[in-house]
Amino acid sequence: MKRKTTMPVILRIMSIALLGILLSCTGRQKPAGESTEVNQEADAAQPAVEWVSLFDGETLEGWKRYNADEIGPLWKVDDGAIMCDGKGHGEGSPEFGGSLITVEKFGNFELELEWKISEGGNSGILYHVVEKPEYSHAYVTGPEF
């Protein structure tokens, strides 16, 4: 005689199977001392990470305008902050506008900053930007946060 399988039975079987999978994924507890030695060796092999300050609060040293040799008149330091006074110039203004980028190149990073923008402003932080003459703007090459 063939027995009909009902939905509650299927759900119970699936729940038991899922529980078994989850229990099998838990790691075994290592004997005391084993994990400590391994971690100490791994920590000793890793160089200490040092934060790099991108802005000294007084100058634009270490910065440049995207695809340009000079920063231009719109970017300045005012009261310890990097400021852009667009005066109606868009980012595409070749003689003035453009994104600021760091002179130094970075790979993986953690970024910590304070950022404010005027009401109605349009700005962001672009990263992993590629600077090449064939790209007219930084936002064409890197994601924006």
Q: Could you read off the pLDDT of 73-122 as tens digits, one per residue?
A: 888 999 999 988 766 565 556 566 678 899 999 888 888 988 888 888 77
Taken in order of first residue, the domains within the chain and their CATH numbers are 50-145 (2.60.120.560)
- The position carrying tokens 């994601």 is 143
pLDDT digit string, tens, across residues 31-58: 555 554 555 565 566 667 788 999 999 9
Cβ(142)–Cβ(126) under 8 Å? yes
The pTM of this model reads: 0.60
Token pair in block for residue 120 = 């109605």
Length of the chain counted residue by residue: 145
Alpha helices in 26-132 (DSSP H): 34-45
> What distance in Å separates the CA atoms of residue 99 and residue 87, rounded to the nearest whole number?
15
Please tell me the predicted confidence (pLDDT) of residue 59.
96
- C-alpha 24: how far from its chain's center? 34
Place of tokens 């009909």: 4
Q: Label the pairing between strands 100-102 and 81-84.
A: unpaired
The pLDDT assigned to 55 comes to 94
Partner residues linked to 101 by β-bridges: 64
pLDDT of residue 80: 93
Q: Kindly state the tokens that stand for 67.
A: 């695809």
Q: What's the pLDDT at 134?
A: 93
pLDDT tens for 108-139 read: 888 898 888 888 877 788 899 999 999 988 88
Examine the pLDDT at 3 and tell me if it is beyond 90: no
